[in-house]
Amino acid sequence: MAACLGEEVNLSTLHPFLKRNETPTPSGSTIVSYTSDLGEGPVLWLFAGVVHAPKADYHSFRHVATILGDKISLYIPEVGHLSSGCSISSGTLFLYRTSHLNKSSPLSTFDPNFLQLPGYGLSTATPTFDRRTVANTLFAAATTLFPNRPFILCGHDRGARTVHRLAVDHAHPPSSNPPQPPFTLLGTIILDIVPTLTQWAAFASAPASVAYFHWPFLASPSSAAIINSYGGGRWTRDALSRIQGSNATAQEMFRSDRACEVYCSLFDKHETVEGSCADYAAAADPEPQMQEEDQREGRKVRGDVLVMWSLAKLGKMHGDVGAIWREWVDDGERLEAVGVGEGVGHYLPEEASEFVAGRIADFVDKVTK
């Protein structure tokens, strides 16, 4: 189980250039985020998805943010999970350095403040788990903090699915929801996913079904009870070893800052496991149905898009990931597709942080000229 320590550590205490914000939204949720503002120009989202993802992906941009921090304004929303008795921060991007902590302690100290995302067991304001709800809530906070500024969206794993939904809805505002306030979207960056509908279709392949067994398993009604009986930390440790790559240097980068210890400890909490399962259930319904309708009606991403993926993992199962995404981006729009080799696995922002940050910086330069 996670330990409660007395020292508070958050992004702004570790990195003075980042400001901590608590932003109320119309949904009733309060978004905790860390931002750096160069005063003008575009704002880059870094969104790794909620902690409810099985890999606890919230920690994954810790290297990339430090590389990009002086190059572009940053919006880093934090997604949290409230536990009883002790606080565990589960930020979308939560950085810490063990040099700031008591190294004899079993865990680093986390910021005891939390984002309450509607539908994630953290707020009853909007009791749904779909990507549109998550995207609209984070967007509301972003436009409050950065009014009248253009955005570049970047997401990894579950965060990339939210970014995909926001980009589609920006190009084709849904009639069922109040329209989003107008904003300029300069580009979209998607890291190591294929569209949700494509992922489900891949289960026609036996190897893909084995590799991605956690998708239907986590969406099933009994999954939380089974994982909690097995041990959430043990489940997470197994997943981390299975999904990371074979490159020794990349593995070292992935394990840095006691990341595995953090991830496993978060999933020792039953509430976190239950949230993860609910997140995957929403990925089974309603997101595939929404994407089927999008494709049928020609609602695709507009503007410049950068897609990056692991050749050893995602590419092995899906082949040309860039060609897959071409079908989800409007004709005539610039799509930059980059497969990452050298044995790098799923955790691109951690395993290949310098390469990923470099390609993001190049993309930013292109879309801001």
Among 75-79, 187-191, 349-353, which is the least confidently predicted range? 75-79
Summarize the confidence of residues 303-331 as an average pLDDT.
97
Pairing verdict, β 73-78 and 30-36: antiparallel
Count of structural domains, the chain: 1
Q: Is residue 308 predicted with pLDDT exceeding 60?
A: yes
Residue 1 lies in a domain: no
The tokens describing 184, both together, are: 């300029």
> Mind listing the pLDDT tens digit for each residue in 207-266?
999 999 999 999 999 999 999 999 999 998 998 888 888 888 888 888 787 778 877 887
**Would 3 be classed as within a structural domain?**
no
In this model, does residue 298 exceed pLDDT 90? yes
**Token pair 């410049």 is at which residue?**
304
Which pLDDT score is estimated for 359?
A: 97
- For 301, the token pair is 């991403």
- % of the chain beyond a pLDDT of 70: 78
Within-domain flag for 2: no
Please give the pLDDT value at position 295: 97
**166 part of a folded domain:** yes
Please give the order of strands across the beta sheet that includes 43-45.
Answer: 19-24, 30-36, 73-78, 43-45, 151-156, 185-191, 304-310, 335-340
- pTM for the whole structure: 0.83
Question: Does residue 94 form part of some domain?
Answer: yes
Of the two residues 322 and 86, the one the predictor is more confident about is 322
At 203, the amino acid letter reads F
Residue range of the domain that includes 133: 11-367
Q: For residue 4, is it within any domain? A: no
Asked if pLDDT for residue 76 goes beyond 60, the answer is yes
Q: What is the CATH number of the domain that holds 218?
A: 3.40.50.1820
Long-range contacts of 194-201 (CB under 8 A, 24+ apart): 194/314, 194/318, 194/321, 194/324, 194/325, 195/164, 195/291, 195/324, 195/325, 195/328, 196/161, 196/283, 196/287, 196/288, 196/291, 197/287, 197/288, 197/291, 197/292, 197/295, 198/318, 198/324, 200/284, 200/288
Which pLDDT belongs to residue 12?
A: 60
Per-residue pLDDT band for 322 (boundaries 50, 70, 90) equals very high
In this structure, is residue 162 part of a structural domain? yes
